[in-house]
Amino acid sequence: MREIGEAADAREDIDFANAPKQIATDRGANIHEAFENILTSAHADYRRSRIRIRPIVDSKGSGNRKRGGQKGHPGCVRIVPKKAGKTIRVRRRMKCSKRCHKARSLEPTGRQAEHTIIDLAFTKTGCKKIVRKYVGEKTHCPRCNIDFLPPAISRIWRHAFGHSFQAWAVYQRVTLRLPYSAIRNVIETLFCERVSMGGVLGFIRQFSDYYSSTEKLLLKRILASPFVHVDETPINIQGSQNYVWVLTNGTHVVFRLTETRETTLIQKLLSGYEGVLVSDFYPGYDGVKSRQQKCLVHLIRDLNDDLWKNPFNEELESFVAAIRDVLVSLFRDVAKYGLKIRNLRKHEKAVDRFYKQNVDGGKYQCEIVSRYQKRFQRYRDSLFLFLREDGIPWNNNCGERAIRHLTIQRKISGTFYRNGATPYLRLLGIAQTCRFQDKSFLRFMLSKEKDVDKYKERRRRKYSRIVPKRREAERQQT
């Protein structure tokens, strides 16, 4: 046994159960190397081109809910700061807001209304906690016998924290993936303020409602682009499996949540779409009535994995080698000239020759090769669509890149709560849009702008950078 263990690395008749060896013939090794280069080029091409809260169900309606903290959430009495860093005088309300006498003038009462807001002030080098007090005169309507607060105070009357403070908390959750409990601890440690986990979720809901028009604008611009990447991933919603769908054109991102993996939602969103749908080989996308480009990266990975599992299957090796001969020269021109049909149209002859020799007239005994033969026949029009139309991506890396942030969050959180999933996904789509456009999601929220494309960041400061060791050595020598 000791001799076997020492010679296991060199002997072909011994394998490891936890890490099987990757065995291949000389021809197979060349095929694997070519496919790995193609997969690497796909990732490089993308880089160049890319720009838990418990649900409350109330059958009697929300109006019958009891006031105060929700069941299961700890309550707290907030201490209002006595001293404010800044006092803001606001105008009183001039007209009554009731419909029956909306234009009636209000009478001043001489009593003051005030409300304190805790917020953050962001500077070029950081942020600090600030306290603002809003003061204004109350007014009275003699007809309806109601006192009215100043408009500026009535808008923030139920809020203890300002817009910047809430934006910072949303950024911690959406971009930095911190759990609600961790955000609560950070707020208490840094700013000496206590916020419940339900309060953090309330920030996310409020910003989700504020940016509902932003999401509609993003979807509109995605559907106006010449191609759309679509991908999906499962997530756990309180013990039941749901699916999140992502739609992106490389600069705008939108997420949608469904209870099943049926593509009914995607078919509805893309009804009448005249562009190209870029997706993987999930059969549900076949029901979308639009031109499609299948992700060749998924195809190459499947071929590569099956060839590793069957290194001595000559029929499979010959079939994969024929595909390799077509793809290597094709992607060499893609890397050199880009996705221009004037430089790629010449490869259609090689593709037709491959289909004629290996797909249409081939009869294979190997079940794996027969399965790939059917796949090539089924997706003949959508595998090489990028050879006939300008600028169409040949992989779905952009869609996978957009949804990867959610998959990492899924590993961290494990599960999502139903009433917090949709607001989170809306803000995540805006955050990913900012990321694809190389903009700060936090700065975008602080600006209160609703159009990501129109938002322009200020000139960024020059940060310190690491000096290469070679330069340090040259400096020491001089």
Residue 145 gets the label, from left (phi > 0), alpha (psi -120 to 50) or beta, of left
Q: Compute the radius of gyration of the chain from its Cα atoms.
A: 30
Whole-number pLDDT of residue 56: 40
Tell me the C-alpha distance between 203 and 205, whole Å: 6
Q: Give bridge partners of residue 94 from the DSSP assignment.
A: none
Tens digits of residue pLDDT in 400-429 = 999 999 999 999 888 888 888 999 999 999
What pLDDT does residue 55 have?
A: 43
452 closest CA partner among 167, 252, 160: 252
Q: In angstroms, what CA-CA distances link 344 with 42, 287, 321, 384?
A: 16, 28, 21, 10
* Confidence (pLDDT) at 62: 45
Low-confidence ranges of the chain (pLDDT < 70): 10, 12, 19, 21, 41, 43-80, 82-83, 99-103, 460-464, 467-478
Residue 127 parent element (H or E): strand 127-141
Q: How many whole angstroms separate alpha carbon 218 and alpha carbon 224?
A: 10
pLDDT at residue 52 in the model: 38
CA 216 to chain centre: 16
What pLDDT shows up at residue 51? Answer: 38
The confidence score (pLDDT) of residue 473 equals 58
What local confidence, expressed as pLDDT, does residue 247 receive?
96
Closest CA to 381 of 271, 290, 262, 248: 290
Cα separation, 176 vs 174, whole angstroms? 6
Bridge partners of 89, per DSSP, are 135
pLDDT tens for each residue of 354-394: 999 999 877 888 999 999 999 999 999 999 999 999 999 99
- The contacts of residue 247 (CB under 8 Å, 6+ apart) are 219, 222, 228, 229, 230, 253, 254, 256, 266, 269
Beta bridge partners of 227: 276
3-state SS record for 209-266: HHCHHHHHHHHHHHHCCCEEEEEEEEEEECCEEEEEEEEECCCCEEEEEECCCCCHHH
Q: What is the pLDDT of residue 126?
A: 86
Helices marked H in 379-417 — which ranges? 380-383, 397-413
**Structure confidence at residue 158 (pLDDT):** 80
User: Looking at this protein, which amino acid is placed at residue 155?
Assistant: R
Q: Long-range contact list for 317-324, CB < 8 A, 24+ apart?
A: 317/25, 317/27, 317/28, 317/31, 319/358, 319/362, 319/364, 319/369, 319/372, 319/373, 320/31, 321/27, 321/31, 322/354, 322/357, 322/358, 323/354, 323/358, 324/31, 324/34, 324/35
